[in-house]
Amino acid sequence: MYLFEKTPADVRDVLTKPIRDLNLKIEGSSVERFVQQLYRELDRKGLKKFRPKVYLSDEWGCPSEEPVIGIPFYLADPKLQKLEREMNDLEDSRQIMMYLRHEAGHAFNYAYELYKTQEWHDKFGSFRKPYRDHYKPVPFSRRFVRHMEGWYAQKHPDEDFAETFAVWMTPRSNWRKRYKGWGAMAKLKYMERIGRKFGDADPLRPQGDADITVEDMDDTVEQFYASHNEDTRAADELLLDTDLQDIFNVSPRKRKGVRPAADFLRDNRKVITDKLTYWTGVRRPLIKKLVDAIEKRSDELKLRVESENEKQNLTELTVFCTALAMNYLSRGKFIQS
């Protein structure tokens, strides 16, 4: 139960329940309004006939070549939202819409079978290119738009299109100005033209088959989180004492204008996690676990920060965590033994 030691007491009763027995529905849940917002945005962009089916699943996704959108099951229940917030940081409204627009891009691609055309291939690359979870992007490349964290458009041609669609679709994204002079502009102009072309056209594939639905999920909530957080153990046994003592270097004799480093980390946890995830591309649960491990060890070492040096400490800590994250990306570990 170490994984769930911070779980709120009023949430623990759902841990032992199979997900399929929780009777989770989009209709009537707090996530329904985001789906309706997506549909309104599609309408405002002139896509009158494209309304992808949305269902609850184990994660965000759009099954390959299926014009449907999977939404994480925990967004449909207040207790599960609270649990997700403790485990991985719950998506806020902005992030939910970012993911929905991205997945809608995949669904649009599949609904109108754009990926089968030569023009799509010329703009984005081969749809049949091997799909790898671990990829090495070229940071700051102007050939790709920036929407989701981690240079995600560079992962695969299909992701490149989905990110381009999402930027084109996002209200007030100002993409014509933001991407002026970028190689990515040709892809955005393609999307603008395709949007007009298919605005009133019926999809070639109006229906699609869902992948994993909540009705298929036999695991209990506890089993789901235990299996989906296995790779976060890379942050459990980090030996960072010397580095943390260098960053939070406050004399034990100092009494005024100081506070526990753990409190400082707790106050800045979300912004550090958000920015590290966005700029490095390391998965959010792993970044969160890294920051949590640093907070826990800082508390155990009774490290402190001086109020007048907090901005400097935040900068140094963020750079330090970035170096660890980049080490993980290139070598598969935060620290080499």
Q: How confident is the model over 267-291, as pLDDT tens digits?
A: 999 899 989 988 888 888 788 889 9
- Is 14 inside a domain boundary? yes
* Whole-number pLDDT of residue 238: 66
Top mean pLDDT of 175-184, 245-254, 307-316, 321-330 is at 175-184
For residues 237 and 278, membership in a common domain is answered with yes
Range of the structural domain that residue 255 is part of: 231-331
Single pTM value for the model = 0.84
Q: Provide, rounded to the nearest whole percent, the portion of the chain with pLDDT above 90.
A: 69
Of residues 234 and 191, which shows the higher confidence score?
191
Q: How confident is the model over 227-249, as pLDDT tens digits?
A: 876 555 555 556 688 999 999 98
* Whole-number pLDDT of residue 235: 56
Q: Provide, rounded to the nearest whole percent, the portion of the chain with pLDDT above 70.
A: 94
For residues 181 and 258, membership in a common domain is answered with no
For residues 316 and 187, membership in a common domain is answered with no
Question: From the CA atom positions of the chain, what is the Rg in Å?
Answer: 22
* Whole-number pLDDT of residue 1: 46
Question: What integer best gives the mean pLDDT of the chain?
Answer: 90
Give the separation between CA 297 and CA 262, rounded to whole angstroms: 8
Mean pLDDT of 180-209: 96
For residues 133 and 236, membership in a common domain is answered with no
Give the separation between CA 234 and CA 108, rounded to whole angstroms: 37
- Flag whether pLDDT at 163 surpasses 80: yes
Number of folded domains that form the chain: 2
For residues 106 and 144, membership in a common domain is answered with yes
For residues 180 and 238, membership in a common domain is answered with no
- Is 224 inside a domain boundary? no
For residues 157 and 260, membership in a common domain is answered with no
- Is 225 inside a domain boundary? no
Q: How confident is the model over 59-112, as pLDDT tens digits?
A: 999 999 999 999 999 999 999 999 998 887 789 999 999 999 999 999 999 999
For residues 190 and 261, membership in a common domain is answered with no
For residues 247 and 326, membership in a common domain is answered with yes
- Is 254 inside a domain boundary? yes
For residues 9 and 54, membership in a common domain is answered with yes
For residues 82 and 167, membership in a common domain is answered with yes
